[in-house]
């Protein structure tokens, strides 16, 4: 639609298309972006490797979507809220979550849902779109308390087919909640391409029904992601209500490590997209165009990222064994007879296994 044209600040060849942001692009900021992108991609690849080795449970990769997550999370202030899906570990890491904790989450540990002290990071939402209502509620609460805090909530294209998506946008619109709805349109809801799940030309246009601003950005352009998200967050802080952002991107690999994307799409297309639109390559090309690229520096940050990740893995694997009683202790304030019965049966099963 003409109203929702793609916003892009940086083209595939690393050419700056929006000169207005030049003053804001300090060398330190650009290097920070590249270093963060490098860290989260290395983390994602290592997590897949750990899963294949049996050292991690089923895992949801995000490679290809790094700019959408890093750029948007960097636009937040420390007291804001972040509501991720099961694929938004890069956003959570950028906002201050520890790598060790995220690895614990993917090993099925309760502790993996707990953010660092003082950080408002919700546990990853596995049910589709439920987190939009949580984010709207948190934003409404901040508004009632008179704070200057805002919320960002992540969701995929498939989530826009859920009722919770519409309920979240409607409530946020009516009450002018300070929340940014950040859609990562990676164009597949597991195996279902976007054209088979909706008849709308864009996701951004769905904002019209709720009389809120909606924009469509190149999700692989970290400059566009950061600056447009920052505008939306600042608008929310001013009391002007929510914004719907559609960040058009692509996941190179599988939906999860239990999925085979070659069953439902041509993976050669992913490799072509990597050559033409990869978010890290695009930023690297920009740095080369500007004469600020340093190969030695790149090697240093790649090495640093590797050490950081290995330390987190060591911490995760040396974490105390889980307490089996945790499975039963947090269902009711006081365990019912049914819970007690299930616990007894499980312990009896374990005794049989260990004999």
What is the pairing mode between strands 192-193 and 188-189? Answer: antiparallel
Respond yes or no: is residue 251 known to be catalytic: yes
The residue annotated as part of the active site, out of 216, 255, 282, 285, is 255
271: exposed, middle or buried (Cβ count in 10 Å: 0-12, 13-18, 19+): exposed
The residue annotated as part of the active site, out of 264, 265, 330, 347, is 264
Respond yes or no: is residue 273 known to be catalytic: no
Respond yes or no: is residue 97 known to be catalytic: no
The 3-state secondary structure of 196-263, one letter per residue: HCCCCCCCHHHHHHHCCCEEEEECCCHHHHHHHHHHHHHHHHCCCCCEEEEEECCCCCCCCCCCCHHH
157: exposed, middle or buried (Cβ count in 10 Å: 0-12, 13-18, 19+): buried
Q: Give the H or E element holding residue 188.
A: strand 188-189
What DSSP character marks residue 180? E
Give the separation between CA 95 and CA 92, rounded to whole angstroms: 5
Give the separation between CA 103 and CA 315, rounded to whole angstroms: 10
The residue annotated as part of the active site, out of 87, 97, 109, 251, is 251
Query: Any bridge partners for residue 16, and if so which?
Result: 10
Q: Where does the chain have alpha helices with state H?
A: 27-52, 66-74, 89-94, 99-105, 130-145, 163-175, 222-237, 268-277, 279-289, 295-317, 326-329, 337-354
Q: Which residues are catalytic?
A: 251, 255, 264
């Amino acid at each position: 639609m003409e109203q929702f044209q793609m916003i892009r600040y940086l083209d595939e060849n690393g050419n700056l298309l929006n000169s207005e942001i030049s003053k804001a692009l300090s060398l330190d900021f650009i290097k920070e972006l590249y270093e963060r992108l490098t860290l989260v991609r290395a983390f994602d690849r290592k997590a897949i490797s750990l899963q294949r080795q049996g050292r991690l449970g089923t895992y949801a990769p995000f490679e290809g979507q790094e700019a959408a997550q890093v750029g948007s999370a960097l636009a937040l202030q420390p007291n804001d809220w972040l509501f991720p899906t099961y694929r938004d570990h890069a956003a959570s890491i950028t906002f201050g979550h520890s790598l060790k904790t995220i690895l614990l989450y993917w090993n099925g540990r309760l502790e993996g849902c707990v953010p660092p002290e003082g950080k408002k990071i919700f546990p990853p939402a596995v049910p589709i779109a439920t987190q939009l209502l949580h984010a709207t509620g948190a934003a409404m609460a901040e508004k009632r308390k008179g704070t200057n805090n805002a919320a960002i909530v992540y969701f995929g294209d498939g989530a826009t087919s859920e009722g919770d998506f519409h309920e979240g946008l409607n409530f946020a619109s009516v009450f002018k909640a300070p929340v940014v709805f950040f859609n990562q349109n990676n164009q597949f809801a597991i195996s279902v391409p976007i054209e088979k799940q909706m008849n709308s030309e864009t996701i951004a246009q769905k904002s019209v029904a709720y009389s809120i601003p909606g924009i469509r950005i190149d999700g692989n352009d970290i400059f566009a992601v950061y600056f447009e998200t920052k505008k939306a967050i600042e608008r929310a802080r001013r009391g002007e209500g929510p914004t719907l952002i559609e960040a058009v991107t692509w996941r190179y690999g599988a939906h999860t490590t239990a999925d085979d994307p070659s069953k439902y799409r041509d993976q050669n297309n992913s490799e072509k997209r990597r050559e033409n639109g990869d978010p890290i390559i695009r930023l690297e090309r920009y740095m080369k165009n500007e004469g600020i690229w340093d190969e030695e520096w790149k090697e240093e940050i790649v090495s640093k990222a590797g050490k950081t990740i290995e330390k987190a893995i060591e911490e995760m694997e040396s974490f105390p064994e889980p307490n089996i009683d945790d499975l039963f202790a947090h269902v009711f304030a006081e365990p019912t007879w049914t819970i007690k019965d299930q616990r007894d049966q499980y312990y009896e099963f374990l005794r049989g296994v260990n004999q």
